[in-house]
Amino acid sequence: MRNFKSLYFVAALLILVSVISFYLSSPGYAATAMPVHRQVPAASFNNTSWEEWDGGTSGVSSTFFLDNPGLVDGGEWSREIILGTGNNNHFAEFGLDKCNDNINCLCPTFGRSALYVFTWSDQGPASPVCFEMAQNNDNINRQCTFQITDNSTNNGVEYIMSCSYDNSNHPCGGGGCSEYFILPAWYRIQLEEHINNTFSGHDVYGGTWTQNQYQNTKTKAWIDQERDTDNWFIGNPPQMYWNPRPAPGNNGGTLYSCDYSLSTTCTYRGSRSSRKD
């Protein structure tokens, strides 16, 4: 009898082991297993961020970085200053653009992945005027001042690009680039960045917009912005925020912008900047 009991015990034990093994290998148990870490997949973004001041002016000026992001097929990135009228019927833009498309770029003349400075007004040429920039250490990661101003003869605007390291080889450097038309009453200033790309992590590191100024309509003097913007939109990306905001004595404030897949702040050329609302 004892032998039979022993055999029963061994058989029961084998059945129990089989049941436990089946349970551990079943899909339902997998939910409690340790997670598998995978790289975050790239996400697609097509957004614009901007800050806007309202009020009569004759020009806009801001100093920002020249960047050179990597782009997927069809991707585009731009950073520019804009003058506009109160009814939004007229505009003048000046800035930097990079595009990786043969057809749908702002300036397709230069082919894929070209980096260029562009000027554009609805009252000027039918399409933007573009000047290709060399993608080298002489230009990338440098700061330049971009200005749009009524020209001296009051029959159009001038676009002036001024870089502290070298102006001789820059489009619209020195004497600037001119477009001639009957001037509208400029009423809006925008600082704008656009991203249309697929990426994870960072695509454009944090940079600043400083020396933010407007031009007095009567004296033509350049005046620092000393108040907060009237309107804004944050696509996130592009991330965009003030630190500090424009106030008397701080040279028009400091605006940060960057293009990160997951963030609300920017890494400024290698160090974290904090956001102050």
**Which domain CATH number covers 100?**
2.60.120
Let me know if residue 15 belongs to a domain: no
- Does residue 40 lie in a domain region? no
Residues 6+ apart with CB under 8 A from 238: 47, 48, 49, 193, 194, 195, 204, 257, 258, 259
Q: Across residues 142-168, what is the average pLDDT?
A: 82
The pLDDT mean for the chain works out to 81
DSSP 10-57: HHHHHHHHHHHHHHHHSHHHHTTSPPPP-PPPPEEEEEEEEEEEES--
Residue 99, in any domain of the structure? yes
Q: How far apart are alpha carbons 113 and 102 in whole angstroms?
A: 9
Q: In this predicted model, which residue has the larger pLDDT, 241 or 124? A: 241
Percent of the chain with pLDDT over 90: 51
For residue 266, tell me if it sits in a domain: yes
Domain that holds residue 266: 47-272
Q: How confident is the model at residue 45 (pLDDT cuts 50, 70, 90)?
A: very high
Q: What confidence tens digit (pLDDT) does each residue in 117-132 have?
A: 999 998 877 788 888 8
Torsion of CA 21, 22, 26, 28, to 10 degrees: -90
Q: How far is C-alpha 218 from the geometric centre of its chain's CA atoms?
A: 33
Asked whether residue 180 is assigned to any structural domain, the reply reads yes
Range in 16-25, 174-183, 187-196, 232-241 the model is least confident about: 16-25
When mean pLDDT is compared across 15-24, 184-193, 200-209, 267-276, the lowest value belongs to 15-24
* DSSP H helical ranges for 222-271: none
Task: Please state the domain count of the chain.
Answer: 1
- Pick the residue with more confidence: 52 or 129? 52
pTM above 0.85, yes or no: no
**Position 51 in a domain:** yes
Domain assignment of residue 7, yes or no? no
pLDDT digits (tens, 9 = 90+) for 136-154: 777 788 899 999 998 866 6
Pairing of strands 239-242, 255-260: antiparallel
187 confidence band (pLDDT: 50, 70, 90):
very high
Q: Which residues pair with 12 in a beta bridge?
A: none
Q: Is residue 34 in a domain?
A: no
pLDDT score recorded for residue 113: 85
Q: Which two tokens stand for residue 36?
A: 């598998």
Name the CA radius of gyration of the chain, rounded: 28
Residues 119, 106: contact at Cβ < 8 Å? no
pLDDT tens figures, 99-116: 988 777 888 778 788 888
Assign 169 a pLDDT band (cuts: 50, 70, 90): low
Run of H or E including 3? helix 2-25
SS3 of residue 5 by DSSP? helix
Nearest C-alpha neighbor of 272 from the set 46, 122, 56, 260 = 260
pLDDT tops 90 at residue 81: yes
Q: How far is CA 15 from CA 28, 30, 40, 249, in A?
A: 20, 22, 43, 82
What's the pLDDT band for 41 if we cut at 50, 70, 90?
A: low
